[in-house]
Structure 1
Amino acid sequence: MKSLLQAAAVGLAMATTMGSTTAKAAEPEPVYELRIYTTNEGKLPDLLKRFRDHTCALFEKHGMTNLGYWVPVDKENGADTTLIYVLSHKSREAAKESFKTFGADPAWKQVREASEANGKILAKPPESIFMTRTEFSPELKVSASDPERVFELRTYTTNEGKLPELHARFTNHTCKLFEKHGMTNLCYWTPIDVEQGHNNKLIYILAHKSKEAGLASFDAFRADPVWIAAKGESEKNGSLTVPQPEGVKSVYMKPVDFSKIK
């Protein structure tokens, strides 16, 4: 009898574990949102203070997940006026509802009014791009492994019909070569909306020990015979990306003190 009870207990534990695993596997992939804020001159510290003291907590209160917050390293990319961040949502519909309740929250209205007592903070409406992870992207891990790291936001715009080929090149070659040359693949996304590049854009973030290390890594990557061969083979019928400066855009960024990802 004892052995039967033990077997039943083991079976129940296994069923519970399998049920939990199945439920976890069934969880839908979150929707990611890249948001870019441009402030009026001298107002970036006010914006950062508002996020640090209030906005991030209010986002979480209304069902949004704070991931990474960065400011550009270089002045030409908006070091003094730009905040770039990534949120995740359960779905596009959930994001819409979250921002609706956030905007109507009396606490937010009070914070916004107080923070803009001496003038508007934002120079224009925020830019927002809803995205999904690509099949070859690693899972986005929230960690503050190295506060000194810098990050690089890269956006590729492809020629018509070339996005699948670009994805294939990253899947088969590029991601592994990035790691080989000291870069960390953080996450890769495709915009959800056609008008924001669903059919022709790849957006991703890398991490580097420093901007100088990132530039050196790319020099070594571009000189790698494996990359040269892969690029040549993939572009036998023409370049995958549109001509510069629109083809590949890069912004080096440093995490702010309240960013979960560092």
Structure 2
Amino acid sequence: MFSNRKAVGTPFVGLLVALLFSLNQGFGFAPKREFYQIKIYHLKDNSQKDRLETYLKQAYLPALHRAGIGKIGVFTPADADSLVYMLIPFKSVDQFMGLPETLAKDKQYTSAGQDYLEAAFDKPVYKGFESILMESFAGMPSMIVPKLNAPASERIYELRRYEAATEKLHENKISQFNNGELDIFKRLGFNTVFCGQVKVGGKQPSMMYMTSFENKTERDTHWKAFGADPAWKTLNALPEYAHNFLRADIYLLHPTAYSEI
């Protein structure tokens, strides 16, 4: 009796799993959206930069990987040596919030990062740092690592921050990205890395995104093509998207030799 029920139940379970998978695909359930942290280290001199980069390479990035965090970007401004930018992807807010405790329990990290973690008050590794937490856009829920061929010193990663006058206009700008602007970027080969709505830190209401190019000349050529693109002109002329950002800050970055993005 029981063996007969098992024989009937097994294909039923398999059929149910297949049906649920089919429904998930058919109804196009949205994939889970990632969270991103941008850390911006402010440095006093080359000594601090050398110590920070040693910490990042030998302690912090390996520990982040052990904590289940994937590709991590490390960048420096194209026109300055006093800043280091980090882009860290998280699968959830819980993963972000739990990271300090995870790192505190990681003996390899606390040993390799001792110069940074135990720095004296008069010999810190940085002047200070900023931290910005973002949630990815529905139209680009996951980070994409670009496939660039130029040497790291020539590649340009363009980080932009758009501020809006009100929360409503800010949401409107994100809607414009989700409903056309991201598609134009993709068609024109902008190699978009991520798009995120700022949730904590930084100037708000604001959003940030990153595109990437082989070099500065290619970057300039792409933006010229974007400005002349008929689809962009049509999208940008729609009255519902008028005045949806107040200002845009643009940061041109080079990846470090050990950046994974």
Same-fold call, TM cutoff 0.5: yes
| Matched-pair contact (CA < 8 Å) for 2:73–2:86 | yes
Taking the aligned partners of 1:182 and 1:91, their CA distance within structure 2 comes to 29
* 2:169 alignment counterpart: 162
Taking the aligned partners of 1:134 and 1:197, their CA distance within structure 2 comes to 18
* 1:192 alignment counterpart: 199
* 2:3 alignment counterpart: none
The alignment status of 1:205 with 2:207, answered yes or no, reads no
Once the two structures are TM-superposed, the CA of residue 133 in structure 1 deviates from its matched residue by 1.0
Q: 3-state DSSP class of the match of 1:84? A: strand
| Match for residue 135 of structure 2 among 104, 116, 132 | 132
| Matched-pair contact (CA < 8 Å) for 1:40–1:120 | no
* 1:114 alignment counterpart: 115
Taking the aligned partners of 1:256 and 1:26, their CA distance within structure 2 comes to 34
Could you tell me which amino acid in structure 2 is paired with residue 69 of structure 1?
A: G
Taking the aligned partners of 2:206 and 2:146, their CA distance within structure 1 comes to 28
Q: Provide Cα deviations, 1:186-237, integer angstroms capped at 9, x if missing partner.
A: 22111223x6456x2111111212222111111121122332332222467x
CA RMSD of aligned residues (A): 3.4
The alignment status of 1:217 with 2:222, answered yes or no, reads yes
| Match for residue 184 of structure 2 among 161, 177, 182 | 177
| Matched-pair contact (CA < 8 Å) for 2:73–2:88 | no
What is the 5 A alignment of 1:211-250? 211-234=216-239, 238-242=242-246, 247-250=247-250
Once the two structures are TM-superposed, the CA of residue 26 in structure 1 deviates from its matched residue by 10
Taking the aligned partners of 1:215 and 1:52, their CA distance within structure 2 comes to 32
Say if 1:218 and 1:11 are closer, same or farther in 2 by CA, change over 3 A: same
Once the two structures are TM-superposed, the CA of residue 109 in structure 1 deviates from its matched residue by 4.3
Could you tell me which amino acid in structure 1 is paired with residue 130 of structure 2?
A: E
Could you tell me which amino acid in structure 2 is paired with residue 100 of structure 1?
A: E
% identical aligned pairs = 15
* 1:52 alignment counterpart: 57
TM-score, structure 1 as length reference = 0.75
Taking the aligned partners of 1:175 and 1:184, their CA distance within structure 2 comes to 10
The alignment status of 1:256 with 2:260, answered yes or no, reads no
Taking the aligned partners of 1:176 and 1:20, their CA distance within structure 2 comes to 27
Once the two structures are TM-superposed, the CA of residue 172 in structure 1 deviates from its matched residue by 2.7
Once the two structures are TM-superposed, the CA of residue 176 in structure 1 deviates from its matched residue by 2.1
| Match for residue 36 of structure 2 among 32, 38, 46 | 32
Could you tell me which amino acid in structure 2 is paired with residue 253 of structure 1?
A: L
| Matched-pair contact (CA < 8 Å) for 1:152–1:253 | yes
| Matched-pair contact (CA < 8 Å) for 1:36–1:85 | yes
Q: Provide Cα deviations, 1:22-67, integer angstroms capped at 9, x if missing partner.
A: 7xx8995443222111222103233222211121112233x25143
| Matched-pair contact (CA < 8 Å) for 1:147–1:255 | no
Say if 1:27 and 1:134 are closer, same or farther in 2 by CA, change over 3 A: closer
TM-score, structure 2 as length reference = 0.76
Q: 3-state DSSP class of the match of 1:50? A: helix
* 1:145 alignment counterpart: 147
Taking the aligned partners of 1:260 and 1:27, their CA distance within structure 2 comes to 23
| Matched-pair contact (CA < 8 Å) for 2:89–2:143 | no
Say if 1:27 and 1:202 are closer, same or farther in 2 by CA, change over 3 A: closer
Taking the aligned partners of 1:214 and 1:233, their CA distance within structure 2 comes to 26
Taking the aligned partners of 2:86 and 2:172, their CA distance within structure 1 comes to 28
Taking the aligned partners of 1:204 and 1:223, their CA distance within structure 2 comes to 21
* 1:65 alignment counterpart: 69
